[in-house]
Amino acid sequence: MPVTSYLGLGSNIGNANQNIVQAIDLISAIDNVEVTNKASFYLSKAWGKTDQDDFINTVIEIKCSLSPEELLKSLKKVEGDMGRIKKEKWGPRIIDIDILTFADCEVNLPHLKIPHPYMTQRSFVMAPLYELNQSMIIANKGPIEEHINKKQIKSEILDVYVL
């Protein structure tokens, strides 16, 4: 039975908008995955490693019949097919796709943590996620509205637009 999950996408190499659009198209083509909603695109400063170009980020909602690990494997293939090379933690990337939530599951494996461990600290994740689901309960973290810091979002998000 399909479950609802949320994925975060980001890019800051090349045509970041087009990279995200392409990634969403490739995610849509994964067997047993259906993209059901998309947030606006958010321009923000880099997080973690700040000496790089600004990022375009968004969040998409999917319905998925895969396991969390199968989904992760499929998303890593999309990243690889798009030319992502991981050189450094939080470094520049053509595409980054993170599983933010997977239904109400918690996963704590060395290579996969759900909910995403940094999601509530990142305006570029929380703003588009809130745009899609204002009543969301994040597993082990509580209601999304408890994690929305509108002042922080206002200071960290440089622009918002719909493609």
Q: Which residue has the tokens 């198209």?
A: 25
Quickly state the pLDDT bin for 67 (edges 50, 70, 90). Answer: very high
Domain range annotation of the chain? 3-161
Q: What is the pLDDT of residue 36?
A: 98
Alpha helices in the chain (DSSP H): 16-28, 68-81, 123-132, 150-156
Specify the pTM.
0.94
Measured CA to CA, the distance from residue 12 to residue 114 in angstroms comes to 24
Residue 83 has pLDDT above 80, yes or no: yes
Q: What is the pLDDT of residue 15?
A: 96
> What residues does 55 pair with on adjacent strands?
44
Measured CA to CA, the distance from residue 144 to residue 1 in angstroms comes to 25
Token readout for 20 is 């995200």
Q: What is the pLDDT of residue 92?
A: 84
Say which amino acid occupies 105.
C
Dihedral through CA 149, CA 41, CA 94, CA 79, nearest 10? 90
Q: What is the pLDDT of residue 90?
A: 66
Quickly state the pLDDT bin for 70 (edges 50, 70, 90). Answer: very high
pLDDT tens for 140-163 read 889 999 999 888 888 889 999 886
pLDDT tens for 3-50 read 999 999 999 999 999 999 999 999 999 999 999 999 999 999 887 777
The superfamily in CATH containing domain 3-161 is: 7,8-Dihydro-6-hydroxymethylpterin-pyrophosphokinase HPPK (3.30.70.560)
Measured CA to CA, the distance from residue 1 to residue 46 in angstroms comes to 37
- Rounded (to 5) percent helix, strand, coil in the chain: 30, 30, 35
